[in-house]
Structure 1
Amino acid sequence: MARSPKTSDEERAGSRDIGALRALWPFLVPYKGIMTLAVAALVLTACVSLVLPLAVRRVVDNFEVDAGALLDRYFVAALAIAALLALGTAARYYLVTRLGERVVTDIRKAVFARMVAMSPAFYERIMTGEVLSRITTDTTLILSVIGSSASVALRNLLILVGGLVLLLLTSAKLTGLVLLIVPAIIVPIVVLGRRLRVLSRQNQDWIAASSGNASETLLSVQTVQAYSHEARSRARFDEVTEKSFAAARQRIGTRAVMTAIVIFLIFAGIVGVLWIGARDVNAGAMTVGALVQFVIYAVMVAGAVGALTEIWGELQRAAGATERLVELLNAEDSLREPGAPRLAPQARGEITFEDVSFSYPSRPDVSALDHVGVTIRPGETVALVGPSGAGKTTMIQLLLRFWDPATGRVLLDGIDLRDMARPDFRRQMALVPQDPVIFADTARENIRFGRPDASDAEVEAAARAAAAHDFLMALPQGYDSQVGERGVMLSGGQKQRIAIARAILRDAPVLLLDEATSALDAESERLVQRAVDRLARGRTTLIVAHRLATVKKADRILVFDGGRIVAQGSHDDLVAEDGLYARLARLQFTDGMVQAAE
């Protein structure tokens, strides 16, 4: 079972080891061909690099020999080796960079596909901004590893191993002295590397928290400004961002200390070995060319170790990033799809709630619905009324299977929703939510969201039916006008009418209206109500409304209070009962008459 995203300071300290990078393997497998070519180019460049010191030794040892042609051949060979090294390096760069971009693209697609299918319960535990941070920032870290660090690490590992072998062949005595300092180098890498891994994970978590905070504030910027909350919002963002910087500073400091220790030990060892080698040359125990070759190999090995310590830090950060992305990929949805889903029939529109009880996870002690049982006949228009929080919208959310009931069943045409694939039965429903969602696209595409294959003529017909055509034509580019992020270019009523046009275009057998006319002026409400009346003919329609005038024409009215259905019937019958509905009606109609008089 996937862990829930970490939020507390104590939890942020936890991190897995670099083995977390193994989770990237399934994304690499489809590109074995590119990996094979990249490794071949990498091995080629490493081998060519290791050959160069041999050529240098030949030149040095034969420099005083009267053999110009021989020297010429050595230099030509060195030039050919350099050309081969250049071509191999270019090929390696192209292949591994392309591989990194391809894999990261696949990871982003996989994470987004997983996240967009998660039920609302998941987003009660994690901020949307943090998810976006993981998809962007964390995948960028993985890109740097696959597209650069991993190949550089492998190349330096080959040079390290090959260099050590050639050092041994050049001078076993000096190589033995070099190997004596290896344990002293490994200890700080291991000890400080563990600390670095923890700090890397902590840094990434704080970056994600910072992104989540910024996203939440900017998406509600008008409310923030209306309440003069800018200073407090800045303070909250600054606090989280400074914590991210503090974690980054600790990580950078730890890595700097590790780098300093390792480089000093490496080059101190080289200086000592060079001193002993120089004495051997004076004693005639080895040639100048052999010493030069040994020194070059020693520098290459030292450079490889230094590079590996640098790359180790990158791998630690990437391991933390991979771990966080895997959490999203492996996150379990509280709503499970059936193993063998039943095909959703062409809906007649019969809706049944059988003894349904439900509480939201964030409020487990409060019953949103309490043993609700009701059947809505095909083609029937049913209004859900009652005080705020009585359970009306919850009925629609359960019908769309955004949540599953704690007890009881929700059925569509006699089939439990849990036995069908969610996309199948949702295609047979059209929703107009209380807060209409408008995308950063054209007005035309926002309406076409209801049915992507609809023609322009069908889109415009839906807009006319929703009383949206006139104001859309008045926009600068008409239907092709951009409406801005979340529809900032539109009024509340205009957004509502676009949402209604979207539902009209969907032409589904079940229509769900959640306060669909709440943001409309009196004239627009009258026009839209006519459209809704026409749309509801022959369809099963659920209307959630506080305005009782909106629901008077319903075939049946369900009155909710405290998560229960406390009364049902026609408007006249419920008024005659003088219960909750009658009190709500008197309040609304009295308020309406007072407002009209004013």
Structure 2
Amino acid sequence: MTGDREGAAELARWRGRATDPDADRSRAEDASPEAVARLRVRSRALLRNLLRPHRRRLGGAVALLLAQNAAAMAGPYLVMLGIDRGIGPLRAGDPAPLVALAGAFAAAALIEYAARRGFLTLSARIGQAVLLELRRRVYGQFLHLPVGFHERYTSGRMVSRLTSDVDAIAELVDGGIDRLVVSTLSMLTVAGILLWLDPPLAGVTLLAFPLLFWLSRWFTRASATAYRQTRETVALVIVHFVESLRGIRAVQAYRRERRNQRIFDAVNDDYREASLRTFRLGALYSPGIRAVGNVMVAVVLGYGGARVLGGDMAVGVLAAFLLYLRRFFEPMEELSQFYNSWQSATAALEKLAGVLDERSAVPEPARPVPLPTGPGHGALAFRSVSFGYRPDTPVLSGLELRVPAGQTVALIGPTGAGKSTIAKLVARFHDPDTGTISLDGVDLRDLGDAELRRAVVLVTQENHLFSGSVAENIRFGRPDADDAAVTAAARAIGAHDFIAALPDGYDTQVRRRGGRLSAGQRQLVAFARAFLADPRVLILDEATSSLDVPSERLVQRALATVLRDRTALVIAHRLSTVEIADRVLVVDGGRIVEDGPPDRLITADGRYAALHRQWRDSLI
């Protein structure tokens, strides 16, 4: 029973993420009415911005549509002329008028075909160009948003934005706009022609408009909510799928397959129900429009037939009126299909507009300040730095710290003390709430992003290797480096021998996340990458904590080379790593409680000395 209650609670939390604005703590997912209204405005602005470079092509597409519509509207009129002015002369032995009208009908059909083909070709080019630019912008935005954004915005939702949401917009672009413009033109043109052909019959047709208006207004309101729910539930399906596969080892290790399957089945069922609601709405609206149209055809046929018998209307006019009337209601059905695509695409566009509107918490400076050049650089200074991931929970409070150029500083302390936060602030993944952090006298907020990334490199315990060759991963931070430079970097940190022993040497494919290499080998490749990038400041965040003893010894030898003549911050729990430092900082509660060379702190009988004794005893 306990397991069932826990499973139900977990499922409820997952379902709550569909509408909870704090699920990813992002403005892009804020579902409040005010936020939705703002997103609608921004989504329309985004659409206009995407279409603006294609104004000339859009003008050409409109011209082709006008030609297509004119040719299509000529058909029933030519039928009317053929009945009223072609059949009489044909009976008298003169086929010329009917032949001429048939030729005109064929010419109109050819013009409609050519214009239609040209429009579809041109609109496809515009649509694909818009989608290409939209995907480029979304991907580029995700790349440039700071780490703080990615820490709260799940990868599954990112996948959803770039796949299902863009696909919804693609469905609209590929056929929806066509249906909208063609249907609207047809309805307006047909309405004018009906009034011109026979005003009394057109007046009878107007009787259907109140019902059509009510039906359309109901569908508009109901479908807006339904399609937004569809976008939210499909995002949950993708999020759960991505998170389950990313954590597949934990899922299988803790035998979570059944529970994860139940959660997936539930959110998948929610998506199915949300989709069914949209289909049910369409199933009421589209047949409703057709039913109203059929009733009006019957009414017009009865009323018009009576007028034909009374001599008030020609047979050809009634035939043409009925053909045009059918062309009036058919576009309304097309508009219902367009509205399905429009609502889905609008909901998706709102999500994408929210992502593109997300502003970086660590913006680029308007006027970047260059770092000073020359030898002896890499000095760091923290001045009264305070920072917290949440406003009410500070992690660092008034931190004062000076790190001279070329010094290796080890940060140690309990979990949550603020060590990794210091590293993230130096890498400018976040900016301090108060105070300043400077590199060689320049505030990090005044440095251009490209220069900062060249100057500061972070190596973590799970340094990511990308699919590709070993050489490609080493030159990741310096893409222009030649093979000789890559080999020299690998030799310098002691990775050349194991790389040369691989099946294809430096061209060996490391596979997904470096799965072809051991943990120690992956870390050596990461060190070679950092060595080749040659930063002023190197940050090692638990870079050896996941290694076994033989691998750690291999990496330790590389550290001496990597850290030589550069400023380094080393965060470590293993004191074997700390021993290479020039200086040790013991951090606790966001403050530095001990500071000095490791040899002196060992004899000072403080926190570092106690940690050192515990580590030494564990080795005996």
Structure 1-normalised TM-score? Answer: 0.94
Q: Which position in structure 1 is the counterpart of 2:389? A: 360
1:35 has 2:58 as partner: yes
List aligned pairs for 1:40-79, cutoff 5 A: 40-61=63-84, 62-65=86-89, 66-79=93-106
User: Offset of 1:354 from its aligned partner?
Assistant: 1.0
The partner residue of 2:278 within 206, 229, 251 is 251
The partner residue of 2:609 within 576, 582, 585 is 582
* Contact kept in structure 1, 2:26 and 2:152, CA below 8 Å: no
User: Offset of 1:201 from its aligned partner?
Assistant: 0.7
List aligned pairs for 1:415-564, cutoff 5 A: 415-564=442-591
* Contact kept in structure 1, 2:39 and 2:350, CA below 8 Å: no
User: Offset of 1:365 from its aligned partner?
Assistant: 4.6
Counterpart of 2:364 in 1: which secondary structure?
Answer: coil
Distance in 1 of aligned mates of 2:380 and 2:446:
15
1:568 has 2:592 as partner: no
List aligned pairs for 1:73-92, cutoff 5 A: 73-92=100-119
Distance in 1 of aligned mates of 2:504 and 2:122:
45
CA deviations on 1:530-572 (whole Å, 9 max, x unpaired) are 3321232221111112221222232211111222111111111
CA deviations on 1:495-547 (whole Å, 9 max, x unpaired) are 21221111111111211112223334444433433332123222111111222
Instruction: Report the CA distance shift for 1:172/1:11 in structure 2 as closer, same or farther (over 3 A).
Output: closer
CA deviations on 1:21-53 (whole Å, 9 max, x unpaired) are 453010110111211111111111111101111
* Contact kept in structure 2, 1:368 and 1:391, CA below 8 Å: yes
Distance in 1 of aligned mates of 2:124 and 2:286:
26
Counterpart of 2:107 in 1: which secondary structure?
Answer: helix
* Contact kept in structure 2, 1:390 and 1:560, CA below 8 Å: yes
Distance in 2 of aligned mates of 1:268 and 1:472:
79
Counterpart of 2:139 in 1: which secondary structure?
Answer: helix
* Contact kept in structure 2, 1:17 and 1:197, CA below 8 Å: no
CA deviations on 1:415-466 (whole Å, 9 max, x unpaired) are 2111222332221122211221121222221111121111122222222333
Aligned residues: 589
Instruction: Report the CA distance shift for 1:306/1:208 in structure 2 as closer, same or farther (over 3 A).
Output: same
User: Offset of 1:11 from its aligned partner?
Assistant: 7.6
* Aligned residues: CA RMSD: 2.2
User: Offset of 1:336 from its aligned partner?
Assistant: 3.0
1:131 has 2:154 as partner: no
Instruction: Report the CA distance shift for 1:464/1:3 in structure 2 as closer, same or farther (over 3 A).
Output: closer
* Contact kept in structure 1, 2:583 and 2:597, CA below 8 Å: yes
* Contact kept in structure 1, 2:601 and 2:609, CA below 8 Å: yes
Distance in 2 of aligned mates of 1:13 and 1:393:
34
What amino acid does structure 1 have at the position aligned with 2:201? Answer: L
CA deviations on 1:164-213 (whole Å, 9 max, x unpaired) are 11111111111111112112111111122111011101110111122112
The partner residue of 2:353 within 320, 326, 335 is 326
Q: Which position in structure 2 is the counterpart of 1:148? A: 175
* Contact kept in structure 2, 1:42 and 1:155, CA below 8 Å: yes
Q: Which position in structure 2 is the counterpart of 1:596? A: none
Distance in 2 of aligned mates of 1:15 and 1:200:
16
Counterpart of 1:102 in 2: which secondary structure?
Answer: helix
User: Offset of 1:122 from its aligned partner?
Assistant: 2.0
Counterpart of 1:423 in 2: which secondary structure?
Answer: helix
CA deviations on 1:1-23 (whole Å, 9 max, x unpaired) are x9724378x88996789875453
User: Offset of 1:79 from its aligned partner?
Assistant: 1.6
1:218 has 2:242 as partner: no
1:413 has 2:454 as partner: no
Distance in 1 of aligned mates of 2:597 and 2:68:
84
Indicate the larger mover: 498-507 or 339-348.
Answer: 339-348
Q: Which position in structure 1 is the counterpart of 2:22? A: none
What amino acid does structure 1 have at the position aligned with 2:213? Answer: I
Q: Which position in structure 2 is the counterpart of 1:195? A: 222
Distance in 2 of aligned mates of 1:574 and 1:480:
46
Instruction: Report the CA distance shift for 1:333/1:459 in structure 2 as closer, same or farther (over 3 A).
Output: same
What amino acid does structure 2 have at the position aligned with 1:30? Answer: P
User: Offset of 1:221 from its aligned partner?
Assistant: 0.9
Distance in 1 of aligned mates of 2:39 and 2:340:
12
1:97 has 2:120 as partner: no
What amino acid does structure 1 have at the position aligned with 2:300? Answer: V
Distance in 2 of aligned mates of 1:39 and 1:250:
34
CA deviations on 1:189-242 (whole Å, 9 max, x unpaired) are 112211101110111011112211211111111121111111111122222221
1:260 has 2:287 as partner: yes
% identical equivalent positions? 36
Distance in 2 of aligned mates of 1:60 and 1:406:
83
CA deviations on 1:352-396 (whole Å, 9 max, x unpaired) are 0112222223xx554322322110001111111222222211111
* Contact kept in structure 1, 2:405 and 2:567, CA below 8 Å: yes
Instruction: Report the CA distance shift for 1:18/1:379 in structure 2 as closer, same or farther (over 3 A).
Output: closer
Distance in 2 of aligned mates of 1:349 and 1:14:
46
* Contact kept in structure 2, 1:13 and 1:201, CA below 8 Å: no
Distance in 2 of aligned mates of 1:458 and 1:26:
44
Distance in 2 of aligned mates of 1:406 and 1:439:
34
* Contact kept in structure 2, 1:13 and 1:198, CA below 8 Å: no
Structure 2: give runs of 5+ residues left out of the alignment. 1-24
* Contact kept in structure 1, 2:293 and 2:326, CA below 8 Å: no
List aligned pairs for 1:117-128, cutoff 5 A: 117-128=144-155
* Contact kept in structure 2, 1:27 and 1:103, CA below 8 Å: yes
What amino acid does structure 1 have at the position aligned with 2:540? Answer: L
Counterpart of 2:29 in 1: which secondary structure?
Answer: coil
* Contact kept in structure 2, 1:38 and 1:96, CA below 8 Å: yes
Counterpart of 1:30 in 2: which secondary structure?
Answer: helix
Distance in 2 of aligned mates of 1:477 and 1:179:
78
Indicate the larger mover: 489-498 or 371-380.
Answer: 489-498
Distance in 2 of aligned mates of 1:12 and 1:233:
35
What amino acid does structure 2 have at the position aligned with 1:95? Answer: L
* Contact kept in structure 2, 1:96 and 1:148, CA below 8 Å: no
Indicate the larger mover: 467-476 or 378-387.
Answer: 467-476
Q: Which position in structure 2 is the counterpart of 1:592? A: 619
Q: Which position in structure 2 is the counterpart of 1:382? A: 409
1:340 has 2:361 as partner: no
User: Offset of 1:340 from its aligned partner?
Assistant: 2.5
Instruction: Report the CA distance shift for 1:326/1:155 in structure 2 as closer, same or farther (over 3 A).
Output: same
* Contact kept in structure 2, 1:13 and 1:202, CA below 8 Å: no
What amino acid does structure 2 have at the position aligned with 1:88? Answer: A
User: Offset of 1:482 from its aligned partner?
Assistant: 2.6
Instruction: Report the CA distance shift for 1:476/1:17 in structure 2 as closer, same or farther (over 3 A).
Output: closer
